[in-house]
Amino acid sequence: MTPAPFHLKRITLREIHLPLVEPFAISSGTETVRRITLVEMEDGDGVTAWGEGVAAALPNYNSESVDTAWMAMSQWLAPLIVGKTVAPAEVYDLFHKAMRGHEMAKGGLEMTLWGLAATRQGVSLAKLLGGTREEIGTGISIGIQPSPDKLVEKVESYLAQGYRKIKVKIKPGFDIPYVRAVREAFGDRVPMMVDANNAYTLDDVAVLKQLDAFGLIMIEQPLEWDDLVRHGQLQPQLQTPICLDESITKLERAQDMVTLGAGRIINIKPGRVAGFTSSLRIHDYTRAQGIPVWCGGMLESGIGRAYNVALASLPNFTLPGDISPSRRYWAQDIVSPEWEMNDDGMIAVPLRTPGIGVTVDTARIDNLTVRSVTI
């Protein structure tokens, strides 16, 4: 469905701080408290919707941060849409023509426009996007652990909870023994993958080849965040499919991946690709090419999670994503109901609830807010 245009009256950005239930370590840094950017929009009829910008505190995943995205959203992007009649499906191209980069800033605003359109039209965000799944398979992304034994302990509890995919963060020195320990403890049939967040170079091919022995479903972004060419040199040397995350910022990068043979699977994070129009283009292209995709995560609150769940209900999202239930991240989420997973590791898609499918706890957000700006 193409969302109908509407008048956008106001955008309010807020920053809240939400402590993670446990620290999350990737090769480039550790998060303990998530600095989250929330977006609230109001249309000309007084209808409101909440969304989320997914930039991290530091530019150690991509080049954006909470602060750069805050500036880009409040000073450059919001003025292009506030006070105007906006068509959500046209805003990606508007932002793209006006400003280079800043995908997460663009995505935070663009996606919230889709959430508001869904609310206005009385349809679920999932349906508005073309989603068809009643439920989605969930996986868990496990941060780098102090020892292989500690990792095995964690995996055991996550498998017992029902997760359908285990993703282990790796970096040099924290790779082969960790993967081997999990395989030895739980066997070869557990759907397992690793994510290196750019921790390797082509000098490490020998180590990366050792991973082939473990039958992983994929290895995510082993090399530099912006380097498709070297991934194209690496993939033919590995049996394990490469999945690109950081490197895919728009449709053209997905096409480049195919041209260069740089990977066989894509992790779509709608925030990373500047929103839903871009996500849909990548979805449709990969579907036509026979390339599976799955929905990644950026440690979102229950608000950002609603957008990920909606996207993951589209047909080419054939692999379990990094979409875990609220309690994996937060002692208490900022939405109700909280996101829950059943014993089979599935999350129900709120296909029949208008809007983003959850109610936002505005009183709690007020208490958690450390700064806000209204445009």
Q: Catalytic residue numbers?
A: 169, 269
Contact string 185-214 vs Mg ion (x = CB under 5 A): ----------x-------------------
- Choose the stretch contacting ligand OSB; rule: CB under 6 A; options: 186-194, 226-234, 275-283, 295-303: 295-303
By beta-carbon proximity to Mg ion, the closer residue of 24 and 114 is 24
Nearest distance from C-beta of residue 220 to ligand OSB, angstroms: 7
Binding residues with Mg ion: total (CB under 5 A): 3
* Listed residue (91, 85, 88, 81) closest to 116, CA to CA: 88
Nearest distance from C-beta of residue 226 to ligand OSB, angstroms: 14
* 141 lies in the binding site for ligand OSB (CB under 6 A): yes
* 103 lies in the binding site for Mg ion (CB under 5 A): no
Cα 295 off chain centre by: 6
H-helix or E-strand containing 9?
strand 6-26
- Choose the stretch contacting ligand OSB; rule: CB under 6 A; options: 73-81, 97-105, 279-287, 291-299: 291-299
324 binds, among Mg ion, ligand OSB, none (CB under 5 to 8 A by kind): ligand OSB
User: Longest Cα pair distance anywhere in the chain, in angstroms?
Assistant: 60
Rounded to whole angstroms, the Cα distance separating 111 from 92 reads 10
**Close Cβ partners of 227 (under 8 Å, ≥ 6 residues apart):** 247
- Choose the stretch contacting ligand OSB; rule: CB under 6 A; options: 84-92, 184-192, 294-302, 357-365: 294-302
Cα 100 off chain centre by: 21
Q: How far is CA 223 from CA 18, 195, 220, 226, 232, in A?
A: 30, 10, 9, 9, 10
What the block records as the tokens of 98 is: 């006006």
Cis peptide before 337 (omega within 30 of 0): yes
Rounded to whole angstroms, the Cα distance separating 323 from 141 reads 9
* 245 lies in the binding site for Mg ion (CB under 5 A): yes
Contact string 74-113 vs ligand OSB (x = CB under 6 A): ----------------------------------------
* 311 lies in the binding site for ligand OSB (CB under 6 A): no
Cα 60 off chain centre by: 15
Q: Return the ∠ at Cα 369 (arms to 363 and 371), rounded to 5°.
A: 140
Q: Pick one of 14, 36, 37, 61: the residue that binds ligand OSB (CB under 6 A).
A: 61
* 300 lies in the binding site for Mg ion (CB under 5 A): no
* 245 lies in the binding site for ligand OSB (CB under 6 A): yes
- Choose the stretch contacting ligand OSB; rule: CB under 6 A; options: 35-43, 93-101, 292-300, 333-341: 292-300
